[in-house]
Amino acid sequence: MSRLGNLGHRLHRGEIAYDFVGKRRIWYGVSLLITVAAIVGLAVNGLKMGIEFSGGAVFTTPKTSISISEAQNKIAGHTAGQTAVVQKLGTGSLRIQLSNVSAAQARTIQSDIAKDLGMKTDDVNEQVVGPSWGKEISQKAITGLVIFMILVVIYLAIAFEWQMALAALVALIHDLTITVGVYAIVGFEVSPGTVIGLLTVLGYSLYDTVVVFDGLKETTKDITKQTRFTYSELANRSLNRTLVRSINTTIVALLPVAALLFVGGGLLGAGLLNDIALSLFVGLAAGAYSSIFIATPLVADFKERDPAIRALKKRVLAKRASDAARAAQGGSEEEPEAEEEREDAHAAAAGVVGPRNQPASRNRGKNRPSGKRR
């Protein structure tokens, strides 16, 4: 068995555990810093909206050996004062995009671009997108996102608990904010592919979070019938059991996305892939982080405000203090052992049993001769 596989088995059996929930204030602080940086980047740079949202014109040339930099230099001064975004398509043709260009201006620009690049005017394809259509698309995208969030909260509240629904909503907003902020900082264009990527990311993040929540729900079933663990401790145990699965799933998902972003968009120059690949790459990474470090710790925070869970925590801490005092005074061990057996029975019913060190019996092996008995 590989080292990672062995680690996964030990985490699942509860032999080792990382205190994600106990150190949640650290993760909250890290998320807050990243989110603030994303918001600042968004406020300073803003989003570079594609013509599908802002309106403009797209000109597509036939296959040509002219490079992107050469094309930008040749058409400079014939773009109606707008900055041209030139991309090389996989077919070898050029895609020239200009924002805030009217239909009348587009016809003039089409003729000038064809002349600058040494082509016939009819060979340069022109496509104009009006600002009203772009505004309508933007509104529909925002509406779809809001409806998605509402449906997610309703479903999780029904299938799990309202605390989990609220934690999942916070995690989704966290992922969305970071992804949009990175877009603003990097300066990539927001296109319909970006919106598709964002919705895909939210779906993936939700899937990862639901997997963790499903294990948490099973682990904390009938939690008040035992006094060995607090809710936060069981939440941390459940998170550790699904940790390796979440990491493996994220890595497998990130590898093809990284190929799209760095190989397709970077090395091969397929610029159109960057729009969707960047949103997927950043969103998948943020979603994996939020499902582990944000969603479950938030559920623990919300649940521990519940009177029944708070009472359970007091009983657990009081029992531990009592056991520690009894051990310090050298009290009888038979009574604690019987109590542990009763707790294990309740914990087994709740699905929270994990390996623990059994106390050695004080009289075990006493006056027993060594070797084979006759």
Distance CA 99, CA 85 (A): 9
pTM (2 d.p.): 0.71
What is the distance between the alpha carbons of residues 146 and 141, in angstroms, rounded to a whole number?
9
What are 75-124's pLDDT values in tens digits? 887 777 777 778 777 677 888 888 777 777 888 888 888 888 888 888 88
Which tokens hold the place of 133? 């259509």
Per-residue pLDDT tens digits for 139-159: 887 888 888 888 888 988 888
> How many helices and strands (H and E) does the chain possess?
14, 6
* Alpha-carbon distances of 253 from 149, 284, 341, rounded to whole Å: 23, 8, 44
Half-sphere exposure of 124 (CA within 13 A, CB side): 24
**Low-confidence residues of the chain, pLDDT below 50?**
332-338, 341-342, 344-362, 370-374
Structure letter (DSSP) for residue 125? E
Contact 231, 223 (CB under 8 A): yes
pLDDT at position 360: 46
C-alpha 269/C-alpha 256 separation (Å) is 17
Radius of gyration of the chain from Cα atoms? 30
Q: Are 145 and 183 spatial neighbours (Cβ–Cβ below 8 Å)? A: no
Alpha-carbon span 270 to 189, nearest angstrom: 14
All domains of the chain in start order, with CATH: 3-47+133-303 (1.20.1640.10), 56-129 (3.30.70.3400)
> Contact 50/196 with Cβ under 8 angstroms?
no
Residue type, 310: R
- What pLDDT was estimated at residue 351? 45
CB of 352 closer than 8 Å to CB of 223:
yes
Determine the Cα–Cα distance for residues 204 and 283; give it in Å rounded to an integer.
Answer: 9
pLDDT the model gives residue 349: 43
3-state secondary structure of 97: strand
Euclidean distance between CA atoms 10 and 15, whole angstroms: 5
